[in-house]
A and B are shown apart, each in its own frame.
Chain A
């Protein structure tokens, strides 16, 4: 069974631009979660989607948004990029029950210049 895939793997953007990251979950998984990983703040939860609905959201500004499609694929968008948004963005998928194991993708490395 194929794992979680994220595209692109690397991205360089300029301050003020916007970016869209994509995540394809493991087949059969209906939940997709997004995390931001930085050296200073560590791993922080962004949001979680299940059956196209956002079920949980972390403490991030409204510039960070996401969505999930009917095939469970998910995208996250960051508008008006700031230097501090430079991070590894990880996507994880699970079956969707509380406390299910989450399977992580390799991440998208975003650099904002």
Chain B
């Protein structure tokens, strides 16, 4: 069965430091991969998605993620954290079998220290 694992329920970084949020997936078929962000009392906002083609995907707000098939990973990075990046981040997978649902990881809360 397909699943998504996010390592680290909480990640704390200093403002200006590198942000690295980890995501690994398990799937018997090639997946589509997504990163969403959720701010308090709000819904989810799409940061970026991987479908096919280029494995390095650039998203909004300076975030990017790299699909590594050999490692079944899709880690999210941002070179320099900003206070406004503090939120919860969710990795999600949708399968290439025409699935219409997203399977989410458990989320990582990013804390940004001044």
Contacts and interface: CB of A to CB of B under 8 A. Distances in A.
Contacts of A56: 99-101
Contact of A98 (B41, B43, B100, B106): B100
B104 A43 contact: yes
B42 interface: yes
B51 interface: yes
Contact of B46 (A33, A45, A102): A102
B98 interface: yes
Contacts of A45: 101-103
Interface range for A: 20 to 34
Given A42-B106, A43-B90, A101 B101 contact: no
Interface range for B: 20 to 34
A99 B101 contact: no
A34 B65 CA distance: 26
Contacts of B45: 104
A107 B43 contact: yes
A104 B51 contact: no
B56 to A, nearest CB: 19
Interface of B: 32, 34, 36, 41-46, 49, 51, 90, 92, 94, 96, 98-107
